[in-house]
Chains A and B, each alone.
Chain A
Amino acid sequence: MEIPYTVEVRPDTGLTNGKIGIWLFLASEVMLFGALFASYILIRTGAPTWPRGHTILNVPLATVNTIVLISSSVTMVMAWASLMRHRFGTYRIYMGATILLGGVFLVIKYFEYSHKFETGLFPSTSNFLAIYFTLTGLHMLHVMGGMAVNAYFWGPGAKLYKTNPEWFINRVEHSGLFWHFVDLVWIFLFPTLYLL
């Protein structure tokens, strides 16, 4: 039994099932991070003193990480665009680069975290660090999730390209939408935590 509109669009909505699904998922993600940002505002406005982010956190490292993530979004688009032009080899290179850049982000984050722990700064130290570790930790989980999906489409999942290229291109597009969202969350996290 075939589920309709997985590959071709439904004429009256102009969408595939997957496209609606991923946007709905992103809507719920907005509510998830929205609630955390709202909590941040509430706790910060209720606090008698609140440290400026740059006095505790490493702004240059985070700036590098911002550039890394934005570049990975660019390579993600290039990966999808290569598929649209039916250049599978180029797709592999760009998708590989996207995964690699995600890895670079995580490595830099690892150094940031371990430096904090070495200097005795833990989530329990203050509410600033609590929200910092919670928000960035949850964001890191999303980065890892996105990398896992991308790695699947780079490796074993790419077999679908041979049998049903259109379906595969849709999947890469949806994975890309998620990846851009993860990137976007960081664009909000960076100034909120490091600069303000």
Chain B
Amino acid sequence: MSEQGVVAAHKAHVAHEAHHEELGFWRKYVFSVDHKVIGIQYAVTGLLFLFFGFSLMMLMRWQLAYPGAALPLLGKLLGEARMPGGTMVPEFYNELGAMHGTIMVFLGVVPLAVGGFGNFVVPLQIGAPDMAFPRLNMLSYWSFFLGGVTMLVSFLVPGGAAQSGWTSYAPLSVIAGTGQTFWLIGMIFLITSSLLGAINFITTIIQLRAKGLTFMRFPFFVWAQFVTAFLLLLAFPPLEAAGVMQLMDRVAGTSFFLPTGLVVSGQVAHIAGGGNPLLWQHLFWFLAHPEVYVLILPAMGIVSEIIANNTRKPLWGYRSMVYSLVFLGFMSFIVWAHHMFMTGMGTAMATFFQTTTMIISIPSVVILTALIISLWGGSIRYNTPMLFAVAFLPMFGIGGLTGLPLGLNVADIPLHDTYYVIAHFHYVVAPGTIFALFAGVYFWFPKATGRMMNETLGKIHFVGSLVCMNVVFMPMFIVGLHGVSRRLFDGGASYDFAQPVLHLNVVSSWGAWIMALFQIPFIFNFFWSIWNGKKVDQNPWEATTLEWAAPSPPPHGNFVVVPQAYRGPYEYSVPGAPKDFTAQYEA
């Protein structure tokens, strides 16, 4: 069908729709079962949580840069219990640390990457009218929402929120205050949400593909979400089991994670004992390592879409990328104990896990290399999404390569739990994944709203964020190589060996605060463009995949004409073709 034909059909469809306005406000925008509304709900909630988690970290950065100094203005507002006289107490610092990690991972990045982009884009990219189970989809969002509320409320209970790190290591977490119970209940809600989402994604992708859309014609983003859904489906339940056991330890007085003879504050604890603290670590990392790939795979998917579109070339090595992705997903289940080299698990185990860790780096490098080669010889359009997508490559590259020493048993010993680790995984997740998510917001915004975001503001946002991200995280490698532990309340000020690198804490902190300022253009741009952005047609980026066959914004049911896939996902610059892109839906 020609594009004019689609537009005309759309107009007719809109006129038709106007006669059938049956859904009220609540069913249409709040308790909606439409994947696009749910996707936007997830995305906006996720963005808000990202900003909230970032704010927690900005408070911590004050304490790290100027340990013991009173925080002007804001310090007073946070109350005497948390910041007496504006100076932070260690318990509050620990709350901020634990909740920053939890919120960023489970309430920010995953909901935005999987719940937001996955929900909005996947059904459109496979030419489906909606997800396979729309009501389950709504339940998934509201379960996530309740989990988020539980986590937020935990700040207000006596003793404050969870303080035992985002990893909630036992036995510390078991003997911690009420906030930890809220953390566990919140996690059970979030796990339920992920589970429902994962079932929905896999079923949708297998069953609701458009005619002609075989697996090897999937856009890479769909593949990424497909593999991610399997990770969520199979890796989260063990954490749920662990959460139930920790809850039993805390509420029913069991000793799953409490060893015999545990001494708390000089007193022998009244427990049956016989438990194993390492069991928690194993169950936690059995989820949390695949979770790392849950954070990165959708990001790789987004970046692949944008790179193919803006280089006007097919992805280089699409098949190798897909095979690598599937292999990566499989391997991610057998590398978890590389987080636990320091627990004394023995050389045989350590050797096994360092070997699998080295193996899993291969498919990651294959995907990254394929993306870099895809740039070669393209006439690249440097619009905002492309800038973020291109920046993702070296940033993720730094994060990935600095992870190799951590994956080797011997090299991990001096680096374990230092700021080097913080720098490493933040390069993967912050200028890595979050840049990809920004790229996705700019790229699919016109599909969701029918309007473009402002390019100038986007470029200011990009340059500021890129510079600041490196100012924040690059110094942490040096701090970490000096041996400064990531858990110190004063950033190392009380240790002699840390004195030469303390000034770098100040650099990181200012980097973070200035980065916050550079998010203002983004926030303004986001809301301003919803109503005032430049109006565009259904395919402003001249892209090839199926979501661009739907009107912008797509109506309920998505497509005016049921789409069909006639070719692979990235037929850009085909020799002899009338234009430089041949869409999948063009016969």
**Chain A interface (Cβ < 8 Å from any Cβ of B):** 1-5, 10, 13, 15-17, 20-21, 24-25, 27-29, 31-36, 39, 42-43, 46-47, 122-127, 130-131, 133-134, 138
Which residue of chain B has the shortest Cβ distance to A45 in the bound complex? Answer: B276
Task: For residue B216, give the distance in angstroms from its CB to the closest CB of chain A.
Answer: 14
20 CB < 8 A contacts A-B? A3-B130, A3-B134, A3-B208, A4-B129, A13-B206, A13-B207, A15-B206, A20-B202, A21-B132, A21-B199, A24-B202, A28-B237, A32-B238, A33-B241, A35-B237, A35-B241, A36-B245, A39-B283, A43-B275, A123-B248
Besides A127-B254, A127-B275, A130-B256, 9 other A-B contacts (C-beta < 8 A): A13-B206, A15-B207, A25-B199, A28-B195, A31-B238, A34-B238, A35-B238, A35-B241, A134-B254
From DSSP, what is the main secondary structure of chain B's interface residues? helix
Contacts of A27 in B (CB 8 A): 233-234
Most B Cβ at <10 Å: residue of A16, A24, A32, A126: A24
Task: For residue B99, give the distance in angstroms from its CB to the closest CB of chain A.
Answer: 25
Task: For residue B442, give the distance in angstroms from its CB to the closest CB of chain A.
Answer: 29
C-alpha spacing A110/B207, complex, angstroms: 43
Task: Known contacts A28-B233, A43-B275; decide if A17 and B253 are in contact (CB<8 Å).
Answer: no
Task: Known contacts A27-B233, A28-B237; decide if A46 and B207 are in contact (CB<8 Å).
Answer: no
Do A127 and B132 have beta carbons less than 8 Å apart? no
Give the 4 A-B residue pairs with the shortest CB-CB distance, closest first. A124-B253, A35-B238, A130-B254, A32-B237
Q: Verify if B242 is at the interface (C-beta below 8 Å from A).
A: yes
Q: Verify if B79 is at the interface (C-beta below 8 Å from A).
A: no
Contacts of B206 in A (CB 8 A): 13, 15, 20
Tell which of B203, B253, B274 touches A122, judged by Cβ atoms closer than 8 Å: B253
Q: Verify if B556 is at the interface (C-beta below 8 Å from A).
A: yes
Do A1 and B129 have beta carbons less than 8 Å apart? yes
Tell which of A2, A130, A138 touches B255, judged by Cβ atoms closer than 8 Å: A130
Q: Verify if B279 is at the interface (C-beta below 8 Å from A).
A: yes
Task: For residue A168, give the distance in angstroms from its CB to the closest CB of chain B.
Answer: 17
C-alpha spacing A20/B195, complex, angstroms: 14
Task: Known contacts A134-B244, A134-B254; decide if A46 and B276 are in contact (CB<8 Å).
Answer: yes
Contacts of B275 in A (CB 8 A): 43, 127
Do A17 and B132 have beta carbons less than 8 Å apart? yes
C-alpha spacing A29/B253, complex, angstroms: 26
Q: Verify if B157 is at the interface (C-beta below 8 Å from A).
A: no
Contacts of A138 in B (CB 8 A): 244
C-alpha spacing A148/B19, complex, angstroms: 40
**Chain B interface (Cβ < 8 Å from any Cβ of A):** 129-130, 132-134, 136, 195, 198-200, 202-203, 206-208, 233-238, 240-242, 244-245, 248, 252-256, 271-272, 274-276, 279, 282-283, 286, 556-557
Task: For residue B425, give the distance in angstroms from its CB to the closest CB of chain A.
Answer: 24
C-alpha spacing A1/B34, complex, angstroms: 10
C-alpha spacing A100/B139, complex, angstroms: 29
Which residue of chain B has the shortest Cβ distance to A31 in the bound complex? Answer: B237
Do A28 and B254 have beta carbons less than 8 Å apart? no
C-alpha spacing A20/B233, complex, angstroms: 13
Tell which of A1, A47, A133 touches B274, judged by Cβ atoms closer than 8 Å: A47
Most B Cβ at <10 Å: residue of A25, A27, A31, A134: A31
Do A21 and B129 have beta carbons less than 8 Å apart? no
Task: Known contacts A1-B557, A134-B254; decide if A28 and B236 are in contact (CB<8 Å).
Answer: yes
C-alpha spacing A39/B129, complex, angstroms: 43
Contacts of B132 in A (CB 8 A): 3, 5, 17, 21
Contacts of A46 in B (CB 8 A): 274, 276
C-alpha spacing A5/B205, complex, angstroms: 13
Which residue of chain A has the shortest Cβ distance to B234 in the bound complex? Answer: A31
Task: Known contacts A28-B195, A28-B237, A127-B255; decide if A21 and B203 are in contact (CB<8 Å).
Answer: yes
C-alpha spacing A187/B397, complex, angstroms: 49
Task: Known contacts A28-B195, A127-B255; decide if A42 and B238 are in contact (CB<8 Å).
Answer: no
Contacts of A3 in B (CB 8 A): 129-130, 132-134, 208
Do A21 and B133 have beta carbons less than 8 Å apart? yes
Contacts of B133 in A (CB 8 A): 3, 17, 21
C-alpha spacing A4/B206, complex, angstroms: 12
Contacts of A24 in B (CB 8 A): 198-199, 202-203, 233
Task: For residue B560, give the distance in angstroms from its CB to the closest CB of chain A.
Answer: 13
Contacts of A10 in B (CB 8 A): 207
Contacts of B200 in A (CB 8 A): 21
Most B Cβ at <10 Å: residue of A15, A43, A125: A43
Tell which of B136, B208, B242 touches A5, judged by Cβ atoms closer than 8 Å: B208
Tell which of A1, A17, A134 touches B207, judged by Cβ atoms closer than 8 Å: A17
Contacts of B248 in A (CB 8 A): 123, 130, 133-134
Task: For residue B460, give the distance in angstroms from its CB to the closest CB of chain A.
Answer: 41
Contacts of B129 in A (CB 8 A): 1-4
Tell which of B136, B233, B272, B282 touches A124, judged by Cβ atoms closer than 8 Å: B272
Contacts of B233 in A (CB 8 A): 24, 27-28
C-alpha spacing A47/B203, complex, angstroms: 43
C-alpha spacing A188/B584, complex, angstroms: 50
Contacts of B130 in A (CB 8 A): 1, 3
C-alpha spacing A26/B208, complex, angstroms: 21
C-alpha spacing A31/B198, complex, angstroms: 14
Task: For residue B16, give the distance in angstroms from its CB to the closest CB of chain A.
Answer: 13
Contacts of B276 in A (CB 8 A): 42-43, 46
Contacts of B202 in A (CB 8 A): 20, 24
C-alpha spacing A138/B556, complex, angstroms: 40
Tell which of A5, A29, A43, A124 touches B279, judged by Cβ atoms closer than 8 Å: A43
C-alpha spacing A131/B248, complex, angstroms: 10
Do B256 and A127 have beta carbons less than 8 Å apart? yes
Which residue of chain A has the shortest Cβ distance to B201 in the bound complex? Answer: A24
Which residue of chain A has the shortest Cβ distance to B132 in the bound complex? Answer: A17
Which residue of chain B has the shortest Cβ distance to A5 in the bound complex? Answer: B207
Which residue of chain A has the shortest Cβ distance to B242 in the bound complex? Answer: A35
Do B203 and A32 have beta carbons less than 8 Å apart? no
C-alpha spacing A27/B198, complex, angstroms: 12
Task: Known contacts A43-B279, A127-B275; decide if A20 and B252 are in contact (CB<8 Å).
Answer: no
C-alpha spacing A94/B107, complex, angstroms: 44
Task: For residue B500, give the distance in angstroms from its CB to the closest CB of chain A.
Answer: 44
Contacts of B238 in A (CB 8 A): 31-32, 34-35
Contacts of B279 in A (CB 8 A): 39, 42-43
